[in-house]
Chain A
Amino acid sequence: MNKKNINNIAKTLFKKSITDGLVDENKVRVILKELTSIRPVGLTTILKTYKRLLLEKLSFEEVILETNDRITLQKNYVDEIKKKTGAVRINNQTNQQIVFGAKITHGDWIYDDTLESKLDQIVKA
């Protein structure tokens, strides 16, 4: 089986894993179960591509918020971020390298408003 066919299969499986624009955990589970029972040619490559597509999608479903300490986000900020990014959840992570400020990662996008990034901008300017 060539690479193009493998990609097409992975994309089809990925599309079938989505419900209302979000990754459906149950569908993913069923697909994986059936896939491993059939064991088609190029299973490993199909699974790798499928995983990559799912991770990409999940990364856009989630916003990672990095701060110095765990904080309680104001509701209006949470709603606004979810609305603007289209994400379904916000994952608050602590990062001891940050003195103060916050860094938001959404898929490929990074919004950095930490002290470090501001100082770095001044140094590079």
Chain B
Amino acid sequence: MEILKNFGVEPTLLFGQIVNFLVILFLLRKFFFGKIMGMLEDRKKKIEESLQNADLIEKRLAETEQKSAQILENAQKQAQILLNQAKSEAQNIANQANLDSRQAMEETLKAAQSQIEAQKEQMQKEIQAETLSLVSVIVQKVLGRTLKGSEKQILTQQAIGEITRKVS
């Protein structure tokens, strides 16, 4: 007690202050503390939710980026495959076209050759026929001039004999 006196502490005032403090504490607790705590709690929740959302967004963003990268990679792969297929197809078409054109050329060449051969053969036949006709005319002229009358008579009699045998 002596010590309290020495420090200037008045028990009555201290008691009063304690009572005031308790009253104020009661009032605060009764009317303000709950709301403040509620607000703090709400804010804390919102902050936590915001943080969670941010994490979620970040996670989704990462996933989206990953998916985008995956899609892009797949698209590139698909594009590459399509490009390769197109190149291969184009090469095949070009090869086929070359083959077809070569075959057509060979066929045309064969047809032309056979046509030339046929024409050549026809010309040979015509020349042969012309030559034979010419020879025939020459033979007739030559024999007509060189054969004597008596020889012609003999040949004619032989021909009549031949015809007589043939007549049915």
- Cα separation A124 to B63 with both chains bound (whole Å): 98
Interface membership of A113, Cβ < 8 A = yes
- The answer to whether A122 touches B163 (Cβ under 8 A) is no
Which of B132, B156, B168 interacts with A102 by CB under 8 Å?
Answer: B156
> Which residues from chain B contact A71 at a C-beta distance below 8 Å?
153, 156-157, 160
Interface membership of B13, Cβ < 8 A = no
By DSSP majority rule, is chain A's interface helix, strand, loop, or mixed? mixed
> Which residues from chain B contact A81 at a C-beta distance below 8 Å?
164, 167
- Cα separation A84 to B166 with both chains bound (whole Å): 10
Interface membership of B52, Cβ < 8 A = no
- Cα separation A74 to B163 with both chains bound (whole Å): 13
Residue of B nearest to A76 (CB): B164
| Number of inter-chain CB pairs below 8 Å | 74
Is the interface on chain B under 10, 10 to 19, 20 to 34, or 35 or more residues? Answer: 20 to 34
> Which residues from chain A contact B140 at a C-beta distance below 8 Å?
99, 115-116, 119
Task: Name the residue among B139, B151, B152, B164 with the largest chain A CB count within 10 angstroms.
Answer: B164
- Cα separation A19 to B37 with both chains bound (whole Å): 164
- Cα separation A116 to B151 with both chains bound (whole Å): 16
- The answer to whether B159 touches A69 (Cβ under 8 A) is no
- The answer to whether B152 touches A73 (Cβ under 8 A) is no
> Which residues from chain A contact B161 at a C-beta distance below 8 Å?
77
Which of A69, A84, A106, A122 interacts with B149 by CB under 8 Å?
Answer: A69
* 0 or 1 for each of A84-125: is its CB under 8 Å from B? (1 = yes): 110000000000000111101010000101111001101100
20 A-B residue pairings within 8 Å (CB atoms): A69-B149, A69-B153, A71-B160, A80-B164, A81-B167, A85-B167, A99-B140, A100-B143, A100-B151, A102-B156, A102-B163, A104-B167, A113-B159, A113-B163, A113-B166, A115-B140, A116-B136, A116-B140, A119-B139, A123-B136
Using a CB–CB cutoff of 8 Å, the interface residues on chain B facing chain A are: 129, 132-133, 136, 139-140, 143-144, 147, 149, 151-153, 155-157, 159-164, 166-168
